[in-house]
Chain A
Amino acid sequence: MEFKTYSSPHLPVSNSVAVMMQRVLLALLPGSICVFWIFGWGIVFNILLASITALTAEAAILKLRNRPAFTTLLDGSALVTAVLLALALPPLTPWWIPVIGSLFAIVIAKQLYGGLGYNPFNPAMAGYVVLLISFPLELTLWSAPGAQLNFLDTLTLVFTGNLPVGQSLDAITLATPMDSIKTRLGLSETLSEIHDSPLLGHFAGAGWEWINLWFLLGGLWLLQTKVIQWQIPAGMLGGLAAIAFVFYVINPDVYTTPLFQLFSGAAMLGAFFIATDPVSASTTPRGRIYYGVGIGLLIYVIRTWGGYPDGIAFAVLLMNMAAPTIDHYTRPRVFGHDDQG
């Protein structure tokens, strides 16, 4: 009797890229719902626009490259990129912002480098940085927490730029807590003076602390289901908290608390969902810690002394560049060997 031959191991596979990506999307859900709760319908349009653009662009490029489009789209990686980019964008931004961002992310940052697995930079962050540099004004359109537009008004605003009668853009948008703290510190106010601002919540920015908390929850679930490993989030949050602690101790009037840093902006989203993008991150166990710590430190530097209120995207892209070098110098000791490598 004749049989088919295969290579070992023979046990049925236990994992797949698609399952991992689905879990990432699922883990993003609590945080995304929280963003929706606080900032309104804008985030829904961002996610939809970015996703549709990303999937279309990916399919088109795969077609051009003579690759199987349908099965590749099913791996879910384009969708994850789109959702991450959309979550980084302000909710009231015009429709073409998520479209341009995800076009750049998928076409230039991902597919031109060879598609999934070959991109040296995090595509979502590459797309975000392009938008941030090219359209700085559109990327400040954060709605004021609570003062939400309804579904139709948001739709009109996003697609036509028209506001309902009697509303002004200034009335419905508001600087983010980090942006406002930065501006007011620039005006020589101290943090204790700023502390009473309605923008601040219990321990970080109002609303933002909740968003971060829910992303943290999703991230912990990813850790538990072993979609991601602990080293990068721990390194990044640890690095960020450590440097924040040092400066907070030096001068609490000028430097915010470590807790504020950890629960502000895109810190948790970055730690569990963005920095952990495996393709562009470091892969050795020790290297992942260094990579995470590097991102954490850079975030603090950019937030505190840089020109932008948040620094996740730049920090991640900078460390993407360092990842191959980190990998090279952090090779684990092989079983039965005395020394490194």
Chain B
Amino acid sequence: MADSGSSFQRQQPAAFGRLHTFHGGLQLPGHCEVTAATPIAAAGIPPLLILPLQQHIGEPAECQVKQGDYVYKGQVIATAPGPVSVPVHASSSGTVIAVEKRPVPHPSGLQANCVIIETDGRDCYQQPDHTTIDYRHTEPASSCELIQQAGIVGLGGAGFPTSMKLCNRSQPIELLLINAVECEPYISCDNRLLQERAAEVVEGVKILLHVVQPDACIIAIEDHMPQAEQALRTALDAVDASGITVTRIPDIYPSGGERQLIRILTGREVPSQGFPADIGIICQNVGTAAAVYNAIVRQQPLLSRIVTVTGDGVAQPQNMDTLLGTPVSHLIATAGGYTKDVERLLIGGPMMGYTAHTDSMPVIKTTNCVLAVSREEMPAPPPAQPCIRCAKCTDVCPAELLPQQLYWYTRSNNYDAAQDYDLFDCIECGCCAYVCPSHIPLVQYYRHAKTEIWTQEVQKKASDNARNRHESKQRRLARIKQERAERMARKKRALSSDGGGEDAKKAAIQAALDRVKRKQEQASTTPKNTDNLTVAQQQLIDAADKRRQQHPGSKTTD
């Protein structure tokens, strides 16, 4: 694959000139030669479409149809309740036969609410209301709204609502990164998409450029996809695509991971618990770019995606353009059915994908690969042996964790220590478990521990809430009691004096005595008959006083 490189000049903007590396990672066998060389086939319209209300990260969409409703292709059947959500559209026309819980693609084999549509095969399209407007003459925000209405989420696997990524950001974006790095073995849907529909991808990227207005734009592609790179460059040459650079990076798993890819291209690290936008970067998958093109230019919501159907358990491995909601069983049947010895069915790649216990579950927006394999291709894992602390896991961990320590702590349910060793920085890429000579299912331990910690946190939150409620009730009761007591005390004080202290008491007593005395005085003086005397009376009194002075011992008045 290295020979293909010579014909292309690597052109990069000055700001992001040199490629960097990340710690660890693996060189894995590709397993995608056949599917990458086979044209994308249409998976057709299945008899039943199963459309989960949640095919993305965030709030589930709210169902707007009921049993018996006729729905057109492209009709909104569930609306987004908030910004971190997207609507769900009917991917073909037909009748809603049920809204019920069905198995959905999820690592834990959960059931979730789905709209089940019995298709009528007419694929009858209901054109959206809004008329075609050239996006270049509109505000970026309006394109964002269209992208959300089209139900677009990251098609690379995470399924984060694209409009949220594009428009909800606090700082200007320096770099728009388009991720065409399919680092997991077997998967080739992005590779094939670029080979066949590079022009759509380029148009989509231009729309994203218009929305984001970054300083630079890089489309990252891996060494093992030279045909895709050539198609992409041809498409870029055909249009005015100044400012878009194509950069080829080495085949190292997991370089397609958002954080790892940003590290490779810019040397920067997305902060732990942070987002790329925090360091001025937005990363979008090529499939998402094509979906954006469909939404803005063709005004088609996200109704289908390309799925790699592969593995030695499938008769004709190939990429398939698949309506969302198509059951995996239909997809496999279209690809020639199972070979007889299939044992394991994987949704996603062999490193991060999860096994499905049934093939009745549907393809959703994030399903990039369906992998059916036999026991020969992927034998059951050998029994786990004790950890010998060889630290091979440490050497390959792209998050630079100490997986052997995390294993030790998660195994002993010491979740505090596991969190102290940054368990939540684990991206579950599976490198550690792949190289482990003791065959310990490390990722399983980490995933279990994370779930346990989340559960504990939810429980803790619930108990915190209960405690807070109880405590605030106690506080309220105490406050009422205290207020009552204060009122009583105020009254008492008002009744007695504004007391406090011995002197004050004495003063109060004195004041009381004085009051009494004054009262007595008043009582004794006010009705005195010696006031308002006439001159004659005064003279009589004076005469009497004189007499008294002359005869001491007789009673005097004072």
Tell whether, in the assembled complex, residue A3 and residue B22 are in contact, meaning their CB atoms are under 8 Å apart.
Answer: no
Does more than half of chain B's interface fall in helix, strand or loop, or is it mixed? loop
| Complex Cα spacing A16 to B379, Å | 15
| Complex Cα spacing A239 to B235, Å | 58
| Complex Cα spacing A71 to B443, Å | 25
| Complex Cα spacing A282 to B259, Å | 29
| Complex Cα spacing A116 to B273, Å | 37
Least CB separation from A11: chain B residue = B350
A11: chain B residues within 8 A (beta carbon):
28-29, 185, 350-351, 378, 434
Tell whether, in the assembled complex, residue A331 and residue B351 are in contact, meaning their CB atoms are under 8 Å apart.
Answer: no
Tell whether, in the assembled complex, residue B400 and residue A332 are in contact, meaning their CB atoms are under 8 Å apart.
Answer: yes
Answer whether A335 and B443 are a contact pair too, CB < 8 Å, given A8-B428, A10-B350: no
| Complex Cα spacing A116 to B390, Å | 12
Answer whether A281 and B389 are a contact pair too, CB < 8 Å, given A9-B351, A331-B402, A336-B269: yes
Tell whether, in the assembled complex, residue A336 and residue B272 are in contact, meaning their CB atoms are under 8 Å apart.
Answer: yes
Tell whether, in the assembled complex, residue A7 and residue B444 are in contact, meaning their CB atoms are under 8 Å apart.
Answer: yes
| Complex Cα spacing A281 to B207, Å | 55
Stretch at the interface among B138-146, B239-247, B353-361, B511-519: B353-361
B270 at the A/B interface (Cβ < 8 Å)?
Answer: yes
Tell whether, in the assembled complex, residue B329 and residue A1 are in contact, meaning their CB atoms are under 8 Å apart.
Answer: yes
B395: chain A residues within 8 A (beta carbon):
229, 285
Answer whether A5 and B388 are a contact pair too, CB < 8 Å, given A283-B394, A334-B425: no
| Complex Cα spacing A19 to B436, Å | 12
Tell whether, in the assembled complex, residue B356 and residue A17 are in contact, meaning their CB atoms are under 8 Å apart.
Answer: no
Q: State how many angstroms separate the Cβ of B105 from the closest Cβ of chain A.
A: 13
Interface centre among B28, B29, B405, B437 (most CB of A within 10 A): B437
Q: How many residues of B contact A (CB 8 A)?
A: 75
Instruction: Find A6's partner among B271, B352, B358, B380 (CB 8 Å cutoff).
Output: B380
Least CB separation from B358: chain A residue = A2
Tell whether, in the assembled complex, residue B28 and residue A15 are in contact, meaning their CB atoms are under 8 Å apart.
Answer: no
Tell whether, in the assembled complex, residue B437 and residue A20 are in contact, meaning their CB atoms are under 8 Å apart.
Answer: yes
B405: chain A residues within 8 A (beta carbon):
283, 327
| Complex Cα spacing A131 to B353, Å | 53
Instruction: Find A331's partner among B259, B382, B421, B425 (CB 8 Å cutoff).
Output: B421
Instruction: Find A334's partner among B185, B401, B435 (CB 8 Å cutoff).
Output: B401
Instruction: Find A12's partner among B109, B379, B437, B438 (CB 8 Å cutoff).
Output: B379
B553 at the A/B interface (Cβ < 8 Å)?
Answer: no
| Complex Cα spacing A20 to B439, Å | 13
Instruction: Find A5's partner among B109, B273, B399, B404 (CB 8 Å cutoff).
Output: B109
B354: chain A residues within 8 A (beta carbon):
8
Tell whether, in the assembled complex, residue B444 and residue A334 are in contact, meaning their CB atoms are under 8 Å apart.
Answer: no
Q: How many residues of A contact B (CB 8 A)?
A: 45
B402: chain A residues within 8 A (beta carbon):
283-284, 331-332
Q: State how many angstroms separate the Cβ of B270 from the closest Cβ of chain A.
A: 6
Instruction: Find B357's partner among A5, A71, A278, A334 (CB 8 Å cutoff).
Output: A5
B527 at the A/B interface (Cβ < 8 Å)?
Answer: no
Answer whether A3 and B359 are a contact pair too, CB < 8 Å, given A8-B351, A75-B385, A335-B269: yes
Stretch at the interface among B12-20, B301-309, B338-346, B471-479: B338-346
A133 at the A/B interface (Cβ < 8 Å)?
Answer: no
| Complex Cα spacing A11 to B373, Å | 11
Tell whether, in the assembled complex, residue B389 and residue A7 are in contact, meaning their CB atoms are under 8 Å apart.
Answer: no
Instruction: Find A284's partner among B382, B388, B394 (CB 8 Å cutoff).
Output: B394
Answer whether A336 and B270 are a contact pair too, CB < 8 Å, given A10-B350, A20-B437: yes
Tell whether, in the assembled complex, residue A8 and residue B353 are in contact, meaning their CB atoms are under 8 Å apart.
Answer: yes
Least CB separation from A330: chain B residue = B402
B422 at the A/B interface (Cβ < 8 Å)?
Answer: yes
Tell whether, in the assembled complex, residue A16 and residue B428 are in contact, meaning their CB atoms are under 8 Å apart.
Answer: no
Tell whether, in the assembled complex, residue A3 and residue B389 are in contact, meaning their CB atoms are under 8 Å apart.
Answer: no
B46 at the A/B interface (Cβ < 8 Å)?
Answer: no
Answer whether A3 and B356 are a contact pair too, CB < 8 Å, given A15-B435, A16-B437: yes
Q: State how many angstroms separate the Cβ of B98 from the closest Cβ of chain A.
A: 22
Tell whether, in the assembled complex, residue B422 and residue A9 are in contact, meaning their CB atoms are under 8 Å apart.
Answer: no
| Complex Cα spacing A7 to B384, Å | 13
A159: chain B residues within 8 A (beta carbon):
none
Tell whether, in the assembled complex, residue A3 and residue B422 are in contact, meaning their CB atoms are under 8 Å apart.
Answer: no
Q: Which residues in chain A, 1-42, are within 8 Å of chain B measured between CB atoms?
A: 1-17, 19-20
| Complex Cα spacing A117 to B436, Å | 13
Tell whether, in the assembled complex, residue A229 and residue B436 are in contact, meaning their CB atoms are under 8 Å apart.
Answer: no
Instruction: Find A14's partner among B23, B434, B447 (CB 8 Å cutoff).
Output: B434
Q: Which residues in chain A, 300-341, are within 8 Å of chain B measured between CB atoms?
A: 327, 331-338, 341
Instruction: Find A116's partner among B109, B386, B400 (CB 8 Å cutoff).
Output: B386
Least CB separation from B109: chain A residue = A5
Tell whether, in the assembled complex, residue B28 and residue A6 are in contact, meaning their CB atoms are under 8 Å apart.
Answer: no
Least CB separation from B355: chain A residue = A5
Answer whether A333 and B329 are a contact pair too, CB < 8 Å, given A8-B354, A9-B434, A17-B385: no
Q: Which residues in chain B, 227-271, are within 8 Å of chain A measured between CB atoms?
A: 259, 263, 269-271
Instruction: Find A1's partner among B28, B273, B358 (CB 8 Å cutoff).
Output: B358
Instruction: Find B385's partner among A3, A116, A279, A288 (CB 8 Å cutoff).
Output: A116
A336: chain B residues within 8 A (beta carbon):
259, 269-274, 399, 425
A115 at the A/B interface (Cβ < 8 Å)?
Answer: yes
A70: chain B residues within 8 A (beta carbon):
none
A135 at the A/B interface (Cβ < 8 Å)?
Answer: no
| Complex Cα spacing A229 to B398, Å | 17
Q: Which residues in chain B, 368-384, are within 8 Å of chain A measured between CB atoms?
A: 371, 373, 377-383
Q: State how many angstroms separate the Cβ of B347 from the closest Cβ of chain A.
A: 11
Tell whether, in the assembled complex, residue A6 and residue B381 are in contact, meaning their CB atoms are under 8 Å apart.
Answer: yes
| Complex Cα spacing A149 to B441, Å | 52
Tell whether, in the assembled complex, residue A16 and residue B343 are in contact, meaning their CB atoms are under 8 Å apart.
Answer: no
Tell whether, in the assembled complex, residue A14 and residue B269 are in contact, meaning their CB atoms are under 8 Å apart.
Answer: no
| Complex Cα spacing A19 to B373, Å | 26
B154: chain A residues within 8 A (beta carbon):
none
Tell whether, in the assembled complex, residue A278 and residue B435 are in contact, meaning their CB atoms are under 8 Å apart.
Answer: no
Tell whether, in the assembled complex, residue B22 and residue A9 are in contact, meaning their CB atoms are under 8 Å apart.
Answer: no
Least CB separation from B26: chain A residue = A14
B164 at the A/B interface (Cβ < 8 Å)?
Answer: no
B351: chain A residues within 8 A (beta carbon):
8-11
Least CB separation from A323: chain B residue = B389
Tell whether, in the assembled complex, residue A13 and residue B359 are in contact, meaning their CB atoms are under 8 Å apart.
Answer: no
Tell whether, in the assembled complex, residue A10 and residue B391 are in contact, meaning their CB atoms are under 8 Å apart.
Answer: no
| Complex Cα spacing A341 to B345, Å | 38
Tell whether, in the assembled complex, residue B389 and residue A283 are in contact, meaning their CB atoms are under 8 Å apart.
Answer: yes
B430 at the A/B interface (Cβ < 8 Å)?
Answer: yes
B488: chain A residues within 8 A (beta carbon):
none
| Complex Cα spacing A279 to B386, Å | 10
Q: State how many angstroms separate the Cβ of A80 from the closest Cβ of chain B.
A: 11
Least CB separation from A72: chain B residue = B385
| Complex Cα spacing A109 to B429, Å | 36
Answer whether A15 and B422 are a contact pair too, CB < 8 Å, given A3-B357, A116-B386: no
A4: chain B residues within 8 A (beta carbon):
343-344, 355, 357, 380
Listed A/B pairs (25) with beta-carbon separation below 8 Å: A1-B338, A1-B345, A1-B358, A3-B343, A8-B354, A8-B430, A9-B434, A11-B378, A12-B377, A13-B439, A14-B434, A16-B438, A16-B439, A117-B389, A117-B438, A229-B391, A283-B390, A283-B391, A283-B404, A285-B394, A285-B395, A331-B421, A334-B425, A335-B400, A336-B259
- The interface of chain A, by Cβ under 8 A from chain B, is 1-17, 19-20, 71, 75, 77, 115-118, 226, 229, 278-279, 281, 283-285, 288, 327, 331-338, 341
Beyond A16-B438, A331-B402, A332-B400, 14 extra complex contacts between A and B, CB < 8 Å: A2-B357, A3-B345, A4-B357, A5-B355, A5-B356, A11-B185, A14-B435, A17-B438, A283-B404, A335-B22, A335-B263, A335-B398, A335-B399, A338-B271
Q: Closest 4 interchain pairs by CB?
A: A9-B430, A117-B386, A336-B272, A7-B444
